[in-house]
Amino acid sequence: MRLSEKCARFLTVPLRDSPKMWVYQNIVGRLIVDSCRKADGVVVQTHWLARRLSERCGVESSRISVESVGEEIVARSRRLKTSVFTFVYPASAEPFKNHQVVVDACRLLKSQKVGGFKVVFTLDGTENALSERLREQCRLESLPIEFAGWMEKEEIAHMYASASCLLFPSKLESWGLPLSEAKEYSLPIIASDLEYAHETIGEYERVRYFAPDDVDALFSAMSEEIAG
């Protein structure tokens, strides 16, 4: 049995900020756990997820195997010079992607008169009620956050080539592909201080970790990157 990334999310950290996630974790999640316990073997993407599956779901470690992420990393293109320090966060609009902490940190940066930067989200503000609310917050407060919308691979490559730093505040991933992509571009990374991020990033000098709910810590990390 191969445990998909989406299924893996429902077996790890409880997320109470979304009714949909509650249903998946408490109803669908139980069905997934039962299937894992009955399966001859379970395949996951990362070692931390294998440990969590064994500890929390009671699946024998001998029946769990780890296969590295098979998703294709976007091809590297030549870095482009930009006049504005650009943070990028390529992520969907699901609540656990934690865009709000970025919005809150940008609000702090603006209140402290920190300028010369922008943030790019790969949302357009129409995906769901959450993204619509985020976009409206940014509009009303004139925050330097661009809602660029969904991107093709070529557009993603151009985004990385133009970026100054990757933000990745997600609370829950099995792998976290943008972390691997940012390393390909030798970008500085500001990421959640969680198991998935540490395993995906590995040994990398240009990374800062922060607790994903700590707005002040994200504000400080972003300030330091902008200041150089």
Q: Per-residue pLDDT tens for 59-80?
A: 777 777 776 654 555 555 556 6
- Helix-strand-coil split of the chain, %, nearest 5: 45, 15, 40
Got the DSSP string for 129-159?
A: HHHHHHHHHHHHHT-SEEE-----HHHHHHH
pLDDT (tens digit, 0 to 9) for every residue of the chain, 228 residues total? Answer: 455 555 555 555 555 555 656 655 666 566 666 767 777 777 766 666 777 666 767 777 777 777 665 455 555 555 666 789 999 999 999 998 999 999 999 999 999 999 999 999 999 999 999 999 999 999 999 999 999 999 998 899 999 999 999 999 999 887 789 999 999 999 999 999 998 899 899 999 999 999 999 999 999 999 999 998
| All domains in the chain, ordered by first residue | 5-66 (no CATH), 85-227 (3.40.50.2000)
The pLDDT of residue 84: 94
The pLDDT of residue 151: 94
The pLDDT of residue 25: 60
Model confidence pLDDT, tens digit, residues 88-105 = 999 999 998 999 999 999
The pLDDT of residue 45: 65
The pLDDT of residue 59: 73
Q: In this structure, what token pair is assigned to residue 217?
A: 């810590």
pTM of the model: 0.78
Q: In this structure, what token pair is assigned to residue 191?
A: 């990421």
Contact 73, 177 (CB under 8 A): yes
Q: In this structure, what token pair is assigned to residue 66?
A: 């780890």
Q: Which residues contact 43 (CB under 8 A, 6 or more apart)?
A: 1, 2, 3, 64, 65, 66, 67
The pLDDT of residue 173: 84
**DSSP code, position 2:** B
The pLDDT of residue 194: 92
CA distance 171 to 13: 8
Q: Which of 44, 40, 68 is nearest to 56 (CA)?
A: 44
The pLDDT of residue 226: 97
The pLDDT of residue 9: 55
Q: Residue 72 class from Cβ within 10 Å (0-12 exposed, 13-18 middle, 19+ buried)?
A: exposed
